[in-house]
Homo-oligomer: A and B are copies of this chain.
Amino acid sequence: MTIKEIAKLAEVSTSTVSRVLNNSGYVKQEVRERIEKIIEETGYMPSDVAKGLKDRKTNLIGVIIPRLNSRTTSLVVEGITRFLDKKGYTTLLANTGIRLEKELEFIKVFKQKRVNGILFVATRVSKEHAELLEKLDVPIVFIGQDAGEYGFPSVVHKDYNAAKDMTKYLIKKGHRKIGFIGVEESDVAVGLERKRGYIDAQFENNIEIDQGLIATGNFEVSSVEPSMEKIMQKKPSAIFAVTDSLAIGAINYLIKNGYQVPEDISVVGMGDSGIAEIYNPGLTTVKYEYLESGEEAAKLLIESFENKVALRKMMGYKLIERDSVRSV
């Protein structure tokens, strides 16, 4: 079914049909009704493909995510779709499995689909990304990692400050030997910034950094065990894990090994992953504004269509005290 067929059925020209479709220009009431009736009956829907060709605007926004099986990403995407839907944009979703080559490939695919912009939930941003994006010239906003270095607008979380605050909180509770479960530093936000916060907080409180208390694994819960084995040799009174999953992995490890949380040892996470709330004990953690960051990034992108300014938006956070820490 095309506009031409509708025109023929209504015995008018395609222009006239187009006019009633877009409510533009003059159409005699009687003719309008005739056409509307036919459209209704046939279930005809105009093609956005043809329209897109005509006015080079697809109203498509490409969203690139590392994976979907994390609450973080889900919330960000939820925020994105919520905002874009309101503004009449449709979301194209690309799931990369955190593979750089996939990320680059999807950026190209999006360009071919002529998306009006890209939202990139990144775990790291490289020169390759920057060069490709530069070349393809698509509006983009990064989420979760700062791409300001390459001149791209970004929506980031205050990872450094949050981790520092959390560490200070533990220190205030009397802890001086705080184990740290981190992830690869190639993930600047989670791996590097949070670690910096952890270190600086101790530095400012004149606590000597003990490398024996610091373990680096990956995001998989299975990586917690070796990390914990290393850390526990130093007999810490608290564990600071950079994500809630890792924190819960740590707690489960402790329980399995006969410790009580928080009686014997305190544990905190970051991310307020939903599990944190319903877990037993309730996990003390930092709540980030994930849903809001998705909305904010989408908003930034849409706004950049008009005035293109590269900027960085910092999202807030909140320390949520629950039952996994005790004072010593």
Contact = CB atoms under 8 A, between A and B. Distances in A.
Interface of A: 43, 45-50, 52-53, 58, 60, 63, 67-69, 71, 74-75, 77-78, 81-82, 85, 90-95, 108-109, 111-114, 135-137, 221, 248-249, 252, 255, 275, 278-280
A91 B92 contact: yes
A261 to B, nearest CB: 10
In terms of DSSP, what is the predominant structure of the interface of chain A? helix
B278 A255 contact: no
A78 B95 contact: yes
Given A47-B112, A68-B74, A279-B279, 10 more contacts: A43-B135, A43-B137, A45-B111, A46-B112, A47-B114, A67-B78, A69-B74, A81-B93, A91-B95, A252-B278
A280 B251 CA distance: 10
Nearest to A47: B114
B90 A95 contact: no
13 contacts: A45-B112, A47-B114, A48-B112, A49-B58, A49-B114, A53-B53, A68-B75, A69-B78, A77-B95, A78-B95, A81-B94, A85-B94, A92-B93
Contacts of A275: 275, 278
The 4 A-B pairs with the shortest beta carbon distances in the complex, nearest first, are: A43-B135, A81-B95, A93-B93, A68-B78
Nearest to A261: B280
Nearest to A108: B45
B90 A248 contact: no
Nearest to A294: B68
A230 to B, nearest CB: 21
Give the one of A49, A137, A221, A275 with max B CB within 10 A.
Answer: A49
A82 B97 CA distance: 9
Contacts of A81: 68, 93-95
A159 B67 CA distance: 27
B68 A69 contact: no
Nearest to A70: B74
A92 B90 contact: yes
A113 B49 contact: yes
Nearest to A291: B69
